[in-house]
Structures are given as structure tokens and as C-alpha cells.
């Protein structure tokens, strides 16, 4: 993540500059979660080898870490066009049809991500309201696990809207 918060790296719109900064910070947080999860797995291995004792909670934390890394890092990757993309068809098209297709695909993705954010937000609020807990060893509150889903989807939806608008500006 060599991108800095300098003015030339950020969009011109104030709102999108804020979103871009948030995406960058969440991507750094995603990287930190990766480092911590890797360290915990390493400690788990050492604990089993040296003390013949397993740290069973590490596997559960690793699972949650994968969820958090995915949804915290995805908006940044989409913003910087570093996500997985199959552009075989779009690259073969002339410029105007390509822009139109990219705009349509981005708009559709924005709607899908917005819907997922909405439903995910409702589920997360229900989990908070009813005090639901995971049925795992650590028994964390469920909303702490699912909260990252609507957040990530909302930021992805915003980024897809920006891509839709940008496809006509280029």
C-alpha cells in the first residue's frame, strides 16, 4: 500500500476524498488483522509443539479475521482497480461501448452491494437488539462478527457508484 494521502492520489470530490481516506485506513487495518492472525496461528503451532497444548480459540479468531480482512480491504482494492476483473470482453470493445458496459456493470454491482449492505445492516441491528451470540467456544456477540459485512458492502456500493460516474468522464 504505497499510496499516500497526498492530494494527487485522491479524487477531487470532498465526499469521495473522505471515502478514499476511509478505504485506505480500513485497508491498513485489514493488513494489521492479517499480521495479528498470522502471529496467532504461529503461536498456536508453537504451543502445540512445545507445550503439547492447543490454543483452540485461535482457529475461531482466524475465521473471523478472514471475514474482516475481506470486507475491510475490498473497497480499497476496488477503488485502486486492484481487484480481480475479467476484462476480456470489455477490452475488445471500442471505447464508447466499453464505457457504457463498464457503467452498466458498475451500476448493477452498486445496486447489489447496496442491497447487501441494507439487509446486512438489518441483520446486524437485529443481532444487537436481541443480544444474539455466536454458538462457538468464545461466544462473541453476533453483531460484532457481522458488522463488517454491511460496512464493507456500503463502501463497495459507493465505490461502484463512483466507477459508474467515472466511466463517462474518461
Sign of the Cα torsion 83, 85, 91, 96 reads negative
Q: What does the alpha-carbon distance between residue 170 and residue 164 come to, in Å, rounded to a whole number?
A: 11
Q: Is 30 exposed, middle or buried (0-12, 13-18, 19+ CB in 10 A)?
A: buried
- Other Cβ atoms within 10 Å of 100 Cβ, number: 13
Give pLDDT tens digits for 124-139: 999 999 999 999 999 9
The answer for residues whose C-beta is within 8 angstroms of residue 143's C-beta and 6 or more apart is 124, 125, 127, 128, 132
Give pLDDT tens digits for 5-42: 444 444 568 999 999 999 999 999 999 999 999 999 99
Q: What is the pTM of this model?
A: 0.87
Amino acid at each position: 500500500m504505497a499510496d499516500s494521502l497526498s492530494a494527487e492520489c485522491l479524487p477531487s470530490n470532498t465526499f469521495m476524498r473522505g471515502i478514499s481516506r476511509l478505504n485506505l485506513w480500513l485497508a491498513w487495518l485489514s493488513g494489521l488483522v492479517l499480521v495479528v492472525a498470522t502471529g496467532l496461528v504461529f503461536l498456536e503451532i508453537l504451543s502445540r509443539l512445545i507445550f503439547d497444548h492447543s490454543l483452540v480459540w485461535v482457529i475461531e479468531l482466524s475465521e473471523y479475521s478472514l471475514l474482516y480482512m475481506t470486507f475491510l480491504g475490498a473497497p480499497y482494492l476496488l477503488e485502486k482497480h486492484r481487484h480481480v476483473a475479467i476484462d476480456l470482453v470489455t477490452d475488445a470493445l471500442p471505447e464508447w461501448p466499453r464505457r457504457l458496459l463498464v457503467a452498466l456493470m458498475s451500476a448493477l454491482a452498486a445496486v447489489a452491494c447496496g442491497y447487501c449492505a441494507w439487509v446486512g445492516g438489518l441483520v446486524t441491528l437485529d443481532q444487537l437488539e436481541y443480544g444474539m451470540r455466536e454458538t462457538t467456544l468464545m461466544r462473541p456477540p453476533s453483531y460484532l462478527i457481522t458488522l463488517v459485512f454491511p460496512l464493507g458492502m456500503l463502501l463497495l456500493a459507493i465505490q461502484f457508484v463512483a466507477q459508474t460516474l467515472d466511466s463517462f468522464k474518461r
